[in-house]
Chain A
Amino acid sequence: MNTKLIVGVALVLFIFIAANIIMIGELDVFNQVVVENNQINKPKNDSKENVTITKPIPDNQPVVVKPKPTPKPPVVTRAS
């Protein structure tokens, strides 16, 4: 028996199988990441009614925060 030939065939077989597993497995991982990314970027609901378009605030414009209106004191009525 030719040891060199047998070891050579085994080595090629090993590299072929291992490379395929890693390639397909890695592709699987890559695909999953792409799917997850797509899901993150995708709007949760496509219906036009619910889409809220927000106007971006330019960087150099100061953001004016309007004070919240203070609640009016309750009207106390004297019992007659």
Chain B
Amino acid sequence: MANSKKIGWACIWIISLIPVLIWAIYAPLKERLSDYPSITHSLGQLAGLIGMTMFAVTFILSTRWKFLEKYFGGMDKVYNAHHILGAISFILLLFHPLLLVFKFIPSDVKQAAIYLLPSKSLAVNLGIIALTGMIVLMVLTLFIKLRYQTWKFSHKFLGAFFIIAFLHTLLITSDVSRSLVLRSYIIFVSCVGILAFFYSLILRSKLHKKHIYTVDSIFVKENKFVNINLKPKNEKMNFKAGQFVFIKFHDKNVSKEQHPFTIASDSNEQNIRLVVKSLGDYTKKLVNLKSGTIAELEGPYGNFDYHPHKNAKQIWIAGGIGITPFIGMAENIEKSNVNLAGIDLYYCVKNKEDAIYLEWFNEVALKVKGFRVISICSNEQGRLDVKKIAEISNGLKDKVFLMCGPEHMVAEIEKQLIKNNVSNKNIHREFFGFK
């Protein structure tokens, strides 16, 4: 899984750095890096070329094409790559015009200012429109807490601004207009990106297989955890415990947008169980779902699985609602009598009341040999760290770690594990917080 993740990222870097190679071959580097204006101009060009290529790749990563999972280790990782790549491309495109105008500074600031402002040149104006649009959308995405539907709707406009940026690249006089190879590459990558954008926008909902389920029952725990049981209308969806699906409920009181949810049930079960914490505007509405409501499931996605590590002792770390994939896995172990080298589940919550499945896990631990549950309540015992894990689980060596929970918690434990010489290939995490 760790290697497959590397393949995906290696492909991204190769695709993004090919234009740099073509650019470097097109004109001698000695000329390009001869003096201060040439260096800043060259850096500006490179920022634009890499930024545009990465921007195009982000659209490919949001198509939910199944084959992508193989190269990133799961759809959650594909979305995580999409998120990181979007941020890198945005920063590069921000600094593309700045680096280009640095060549005029300090001798001719007036010229630099003219370059950054709208002018008579259509190509320049297109670039300014695209960048301004991107800035607005990125601010909305990252810094303003929007309703999920509003955010998703605004995110769609990134494709429009990408097309405008592509036109700017085509029309402006640069190495792209002068070098046929560079132009062909940029056109190819951008067109693939544009097609991927339209695929996600229009075709994905029509082409990706949907599994129709109905809401069988709902019960609410502690006023903030909704347990939804879904029954297949026709055929059952095949999935592995720990995977997730995108769900759309046909209920006028709930938004029609798809939302990702982890399946919290065993793969051998006919029904599917979802455990949702009422965190946002959408999840709060799920309490009002009525039995019989149609649910459209797309998936399953994800590679968060305990099976490949059966021979090693496993440490499961769950933070809050990050317990959901482990519910399905534990149920699977309990029912299929799999021989395991041992599992220690660290169930981390803020308050005792939040550990809604603790009792159930304790019952599983009584039935399954080598399965232990360690409850960590941060308000009483402090946060879980690697030192605690090493003490309770008898060291870290040769153990495989599976983690799911809030981003900051998982990232912190991952950092500590790496610091304590745990190999990267033994650390597996589920990104459940992707939008």
Tell me the A residues contacting B by CB distance below 8 Å.
3-4, 6-8, 10-11, 14, 17-18, 21-26, 28-29, 32
In angstroms, Cα B101 to Cα A25, docked, is 11
CB of B135 within 8 A of chain A? yes
CB of B163 within 8 A of chain A? no
User: A3 contacts B113, CB within 8 Å?
Assistant: no
**Nearest chain B CB to A38 CB, angstrom units:** 18
List which B51-110 residues lie within 8 A (CB) of chain A.
83-84, 87, 90-91, 94-95, 97-98, 101, 105, 109-110
User: A11 contacts B114, CB within 8 Å?
Assistant: no
User: B98 contacts A8, CB within 8 Å?
Assistant: no
With a cutoff of 8 Å between Cβ atoms, the chain B residues found around residue A32 in the complex are: 110
- A8, A11, A21, A24: most-surrounded residue (chain B CB, <10 A): A21
User: B114 contacts A14, CB within 8 Å?
Assistant: no
User: A7 contacts B109, CB within 8 Å?
Assistant: no
With a cutoff of 8 Å between Cβ atoms, the chain A residues found around residue B98 in the complex are: 14, 17-18, 21
The 8 A-B pairs of least Cβ separation, nearest first, read A25-B113, A28-B110, A10-B91, A14-B94, A25-B109, A3-B87, A25-B110, A24-B109
With a cutoff of 8 Å between Cβ atoms, the chain A residues found around residue B95 in the complex are: 10, 14
Total number of B residues with any Cβ neighbor in A under 8 Å: 24
Give B105's nearest chain A residue, CB to CB. Answer: A21
Question: Mostly helix, strand, loop or mixed at chain A's interface?
Answer: helix
With A11-B138, A28-B109 known, 20 other A-B pairs at CB within 8 A are A3-B87, A3-B142, A6-B87, A7-B87, A7-B138, A10-B90, A10-B91, A10-B94, A10-B95, A11-B94, A14-B95, A18-B97, A21-B109, A21-B113, A21-B116, A24-B109, A24-B113, A25-B112, A25-B116, A26-B113
User: A7 contacts B142, CB within 8 Å?
Assistant: yes
User: A25 contacts B91, CB within 8 Å?
Assistant: no
List which B182-222 residues lie within 8 A (CB) of chain A.
none
Tell me the B residues contacting A by CB distance below 8 Å.
83-84, 87, 90-91, 94-95, 97-98, 101, 105, 109-114, 116-117, 135, 138-139, 142-143
In angstroms, Cα B94 to Cα A11, docked, is 8
Give the tally of cross-chain contacts (CB within 8 A): 57
**Nearest chain B CB to A9 CB, angstrom units:** 9
In angstroms, Cα B142 to Cα A32, docked, is 41
User: A29 contacts B113, CB within 8 Å?
Assistant: yes
With a cutoff of 8 Å between Cβ atoms, the chain B residues found around residue A28 in the complex are: 109-110, 113
User: B111 contacts A25, CB within 8 Å?
Assistant: yes
**Nearest chain B CB to A5 CB, angstrom units:** 10
In angstroms, Cα B98 to Cα A51, docked, is 51
**Nearest chain A CB to B277 CB, angstrom units:** 22
CB pairs A–B below 8 angstroms (20 shown): A3-B83, A3-B87, A4-B142, A4-B143, A7-B87, A10-B90, A11-B135, A18-B97, A18-B116, A21-B116, A22-B113, A22-B117, A25-B111, A25-B113, A25-B114, A25-B116, A26-B113, A28-B109, A28-B113, A29-B110
In angstroms, Cα B97 to Cα A30, docked, is 23
**Nearest chain A CB to B367 CB, angstrom units:** 42
With a cutoff of 8 Å between Cβ atoms, the chain B residues found around residue A26 in the complex are: 113
**Nearest chain B CB to A58 CB, angstrom units:** 45
With a cutoff of 8 Å between Cβ atoms, the chain A residues found around residue B109 in the complex are: 21, 24-25, 28
User: A21 contacts B138, CB within 8 Å?
Assistant: no
